[in-house]
């Protein structure tokens, strides 16, 4: 069983230095490019990362919950899980 990621609502996620979010020209899929390689993103991760522009995690979760008409608590947990995974990989930083 995974322990839920404990990332504060006021944390401001951003891409780590040297990491870029872009569309792969060959596949048309969203990817993270970083010095050691490339990570293909699923739609959820892409939607989260496009909003990592200095706004707090709580704002990101609220915007996604409203846009997709889903439960905020469930969505916030998913956002935290994605960001925690990317943080462990050193692809995202939390301010």
Low-confidence ranges of the chain (pLDDT < 50): 1-4
Residue 32 lies in a domain: yes
d(CA 79, CA 74) in angstroms, rounded, equals 9
Residue 95 lies in a domain: no
Residue 8 lies in a domain: no
Number of structural domains found in the chain: 1
Residue 1 lies in a domain: no
Residue 44 lies in domain: 14-90
Residue 76 lies in a domain: yes
d(CA 68, CA 50) in angstroms, rounded, equals 15
Instruction: Name 86's Cβ contacts closer than 8 Å, sequence gap at least 6.
Output: 32, 45, 49, 92
pLDDT tens by residue, 39-66: 999 999 999 999 999 899 999 999 999 9
Which pLDDT belongs to residue 1?
Answer: 39
Q: How many residues make up the chain in this entry?
A: 95
- CATH code: domain of residue 32: 1.10.10.1150
Q: How far is CA 16 from the centre of its chain?
A: 12
Residue 2 lies in a domain: no
Residue 3 lies in a domain: no
Which pLDDT belongs to residue 5?
Answer: 57
């Amino acid at each position: 069983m995974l322990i839920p990621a404990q990332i504060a609502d006021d944390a401001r996620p951003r891409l780590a230095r040297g990491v870029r979010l872009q569309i792969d020209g060959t596949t048309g899929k969203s990817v993270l490019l970083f010095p050691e390689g490339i990570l293909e993103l699923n739609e959820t991760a892409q939607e989260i990362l496009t909003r990592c522009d200095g706004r707090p995690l709580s704002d990101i979760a609220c915007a996604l919950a409203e846009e997709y008409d889903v439960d905020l608590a469930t969505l916030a947990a998913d956002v935290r899980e994605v960001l925690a995974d990317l943080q462990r990989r050193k692809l995202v930083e939390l301010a």
